[in-house]
C-alpha cells in the first residue's frame, strides 16, 4: 500500500513538472497561432504515456538505482580497496555511457553527416567504424572522468580549479581541432549526462562522500557529472584530430 501511495505521489509530481510545457504549447497554439491542436486524441494519449514513463522512471531510480549506487560506493570505501573502488568507478562510467541511447543517436547521426560531408567514406563499414569509435572514445573519457572525480573526493581537491583547468584545455583544443568535430565534441559532453549515467554516478559520489570521514556529501558528493561532461569534449576533439 505504501509503495502504491509513493507511486501516485511520483505520478502527481511528474504531471506537475509537465504542466509548464503543456501551458506553453497550448498558449502558442491557441492564442498566438490561433489554430486548434491537431489530432487532440493522439496528443492526450501521448501525454498520458509521457507521464507514466516519467513516473516509472523516477520511481525506479528511487527504488533501485540510487540505493545500489550508494551502497556499493560505501561498501568499497569501508573495505578500503582503492583499486577496487577506482575500477568500479571506471566500469560504471564506461558501461553507463555505452548504454546511453542519446549518445548512440548522436554518434549515428554524426557518422551520416561525416560521410555526406566527405570526412569519411560513404560506406556502411566506414560509418559503423566512425560510430563505434566515437562511442568508445566518449565512454572511455567518461570512465576516466568518474575515476578523476572519485580521486578528487578522496583527496579533497577543489573542484572549481579542476573545472577551470579542464575548460582551458577545451578552449585550446578547440583552436586546433578540425571544425567538423567541434560541434560533435560539445554535444558529446551533453548527451553523456543523460538518463542512465546521471542517477548511478550521482549515487556513487554521494555514497562515497557520506562514508569518508571529513567529507561533506553536499560539498564533495556532487561534481562527478561535471567531469563526465567535460572530458568527453576533450577526448572527442583529440579523436577528431587523430581521425583527420
Report DSSP letters for 54-81, one per residue.
HHHHHHHIIIIIHHHHHHHHHHHHHHT-
192, 135: one domain: yes
3-state SS of 131-156 is: HHHHHHHHHHHHHHHHHHHHHHHHHC
Dist CA 43 CA 84 (whole Å): 49
pTM: 0.77
142, 103: one domain: yes
Residue 181 in any domain: the answer is yes
User: Does the pLDDT of residue 104 top 90, yes or no?
Assistant: no
Query: What digits encode the pLDDT tens for the residues 199-221?
Result: 778 888 888 888 877 788 887 88
Specify whether the CB–CB gap between 64 and 3 falls below 8 A: no
Q: Identify the CA nearest to 107 among candidates 241, 232, 238.
A: 232
DSSP state for residue 37 in the 8-state scheme? P
44, 105: one domain: no
Query: What digits encode the pLDDT tens for the residues 32-88?
Result: 877 777 777 888 888 888 888 878 877 777 776 677 777 777 777 777 677 888 888
Residue 76 in any domain: the answer is no
Dist CA 238 CA 120 (whole Å): 17
Question: Domain total for the chain?
Answer: 2
Residue 74 in any domain: the answer is no
Residue found by looking up cell 560509418 in the block = 127
Residue 29 in any domain: the answer is yes
Domain range for 94? 81-243
107, 139: one domain: yes
46, 117: one domain: no
Amino acid at each position: 500500500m505504501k509503495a502504491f501511495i509513493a507511486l501516485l505521489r511520483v505520478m502527481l509530481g511528474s504531471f506537475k513538472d509537465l504542466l509548464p510545457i503543456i501551458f506553453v504549447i497550448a498558449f502558442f497554439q491557441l492564442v498566438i497561432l490561433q489554430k486548434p491542436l491537431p489530432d487532440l486524441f493522439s496528443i492526450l494519449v501521448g501525454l498520458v504515456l509521457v507521464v507514466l514513463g516519467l513516473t516509472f522512471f523516477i520511481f525506479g531510480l528511487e527504488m533501485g538505482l540510487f540505493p545500489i549506487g550508494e551502497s556499493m560506493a560505501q561498501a568499497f570505501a569501508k573495505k578500503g580497496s582503492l583499486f577496487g573502488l577506482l575500477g568500479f568507478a571506471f566500469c560504471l562510467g564506461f558501461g553507463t555511457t555505452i548504454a546511453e541511447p542519446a549518445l548512440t543517436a548522436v554518434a549515428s547521426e554524426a557518422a551520416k553527416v561525416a560521410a555526406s560531408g566527405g570526412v569519411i567514406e560513404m560506406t556502411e563499414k566506414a560509418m559503423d567504424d566512425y560510430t563505434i569509435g566515437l562511442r568508445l572514445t566518449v565512454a572511455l573519457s567518461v570512465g576516466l572522468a568518474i575515476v578523476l572525480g572519485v580521486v578528487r573526493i578522496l583527496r579533497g581537491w577543489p573542484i572549481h580549479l579542476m573545472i577551470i583547468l579542464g575548460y582551458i584545455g577545451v578552449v585550446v583544443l578547440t583552436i586546433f581541432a578540425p571544425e567538423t568535430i567541434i560541434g560533435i565534441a560539445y554535444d558529446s559532453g551533453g548527451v553523456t549526462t543523460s538518463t542512465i549515467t546521471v542517477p548511478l554516478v550521482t549515487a556513487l559520489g554521494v555514497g562515497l562522500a557520506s562514508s569518508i570521514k571529513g567529507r561533506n556529501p553536499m560539498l564533495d558528493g556532487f561534481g562527478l557529472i561535471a567531469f563526465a561532461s567535460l572530458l568527453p569534449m576533450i577526448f572527442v576533439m583529440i579523436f577528431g584530430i587523430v581521425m583527420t
